[in-house]
Chain A
Amino acid sequence: MSDKMHIKLTVNGEPKEFLAEPRELLIYALREKLDITGPHVGCDTSHCGACTVTLNGKSVKSCTMFVAQANGAEITTIEGIGAPDALHVLQESFKEHHGLQCGFCTPGMITRATKLLEENPSPSEEDVRFGMAGNICRCTGYQNIVKSILAAASEINSAKEAAE
Chain B
Amino acid sequence: MIPAAFDYYRPETMDDVIAILQEHGDDARVMAGGHSLIPMMKLRMADVPHLIDLQAIDGLSDITIEGNRITLGAMVTQHDLIAHDGLTAAAPILQETALQIADPQVRYMGTVGGNVANGDPGNDMPGLMQCLDATINLIGPDGARSVAARDYYESAYMTAREDDEVLVSVSFDTPSGGHAYEKQKRKIGDYATAAAAVQIANSGGIVASASIAMTNLSDVPVWSDDAAKALIGTSCDADAVKAAVAAMLGDIDPSEDNRGPVAFKRHVAGVILTRAITRAWSRTTSRA
Contacts from A to B (Cβ < 8 Å)? 1-2, 5, 21-23, 25, 44-47, 49, 52, 58-61, 64-66, 68-69, 71, 112, 116, 130-134
B189 to chain A, nearest CB (A): 6
Measured CA separation A71–B53 after assembly (Å): 11
Asked if B133 is an interface residue, CB under 8 A from chain A, the answer is no
Beta-carbon contact of B55 and A133 below 8 Å: no
Beta-carbon contact of A112 and B6 below 8 Å: no
Count of residues in B whose CB is under 8 Å from the partner chain: 30
Measured CA separation A140–B11 after assembly (Å): 45
Beta-carbon contact of B5 and A2 below 8 Å: yes
Beta-carbon contact of A5 and B108 below 8 Å: no
Asked if B109 is an interface residue, CB under 8 A from chain A, the answer is yes
Query: Which of B1, B31, B53, B105 is close to A49, meaning CB atoms less than 8 Å apart?
Result: B105
Enumerate chain B residues within 8 angstroms of A116, measured Cβ to Cβ: 104
Q: Which of B32-40, B116-124, B241-249 contacts A (4 or more CB under 8 A)?
A: B32-40
Beta-carbon contact of B8 and A112 below 8 Å: no
- Besides A2-B7, A116-B104, 16 more A-B contacts (Cβ < 8 Å) are A1-B49, A21-B5, A23-B2, A23-B5, A23-B6, A23-B41, A49-B105, A61-B106, A64-B109, A69-B31, A69-B34, A112-B104, A133-B103, A133-B104, A133-B188, A134-B105
A66 to chain B, nearest CB (A): 7
Measured CA separation A25–B41 after assembly (Å): 11
- Given the contacts A22-B51, A58-B79, A68-B53, A46 and B106 also touching, CB distance less than 8 Å: yes
Asked if B138 is an interface residue, CB under 8 A from chain A, the answer is no
Enumerate chain A residues within 8 angstroms of B10, measured Cβ to Cβ: 68, 71
Query: Which of A46, A58, A68, A133 is close to B8, meaning CB atoms less than 8 Å apart?
Result: A68
Beta-carbon contact of A65 and B6 below 8 Å: no
Asked if B3 is an interface residue, CB under 8 A from chain A, the answer is yes
- Given the contacts A23-B3, A69-B55, A134 and B103 also touching, CB distance less than 8 Å: yes
Asked if B70 is an interface residue, CB under 8 A from chain A, the answer is no
- Given the contacts A1-B49, A66-B38, A22 and B8 also touching, CB distance less than 8 Å: yes
Beta-carbon contact of B8 and A5 below 8 Å: yes
A-B contact pairs, 19 of them (CB 8 A): A1-B49, A22-B6, A22-B8, A23-B4, A23-B5, A23-B41, A45-B1, A45-B42, A46-B38, A58-B109, A61-B106, A64-B35, A64-B38, A68-B8, A68-B10, A69-B31, A132-B104, A133-B104, A134-B104
- 7 nearest CB pairs, A to B: A134-B103, A2-B5, A22-B8, A58-B108, A68-B8, A134-B105, A133-B188
Beta-carbon contact of B1 and A131 below 8 Å: no
A71 to chain B, nearest CB (A): 8
Measured CA separation A5–B7 after assembly (Å): 10
Measured CA separation A1–B6 after assembly (Å): 7
Measured CA separation A80–B161 after assembly (Å): 43
Enumerate chain B residues within 8 angstroms of A44, measured Cβ to Cβ: 1, 42
- Given the contacts A23-B6, A61-B105, A64-B109, A134 and B188 also touching, CB distance less than 8 Å: yes
Closest Cβ neighbor of A61 among chain B residues: B105
B171 to chain A, nearest CB (A): 26
- Given the contacts A46-B35, A134-B188, A134-B189, A66 and B106 also touching, CB distance less than 8 Å: no
Enumerate chain A residues within 8 angstroms of B268, measured Cβ to Cβ: none
B2 to chain A, nearest CB (A): 7
Beta-carbon contact of B38 and A65 below 8 Å: yes
Beta-carbon contact of A65 and B5 below 8 Å: no
A133 to chain B, nearest CB (A): 4
Enumerate chain B residues within 8 angstroms of A64, measured Cβ to Cβ: 34-35, 38-39, 106, 109
Closest Cβ neighbor of B99 among chain A residues: A130
Enumerate chain B residues within 8 angstroms of A130, measured Cβ to Cβ: 104
Asked if B57 is an interface residue, CB under 8 A from chain A, the answer is no
Asked if B102 is an interface residue, CB under 8 A from chain A, the answer is yes
- Find residues 134-170 in chain B having any chain A CB closer than 8 Å to their own CB: none
Measured CA separation A130–B103 after assembly (Å): 8
B120 to chain A, nearest CB (A): 15
- Find residues 24-79 in chain B having any chain A CB closer than 8 Å to their own CB: 31, 34-35, 38-39, 41-42, 49, 51, 53, 55, 79
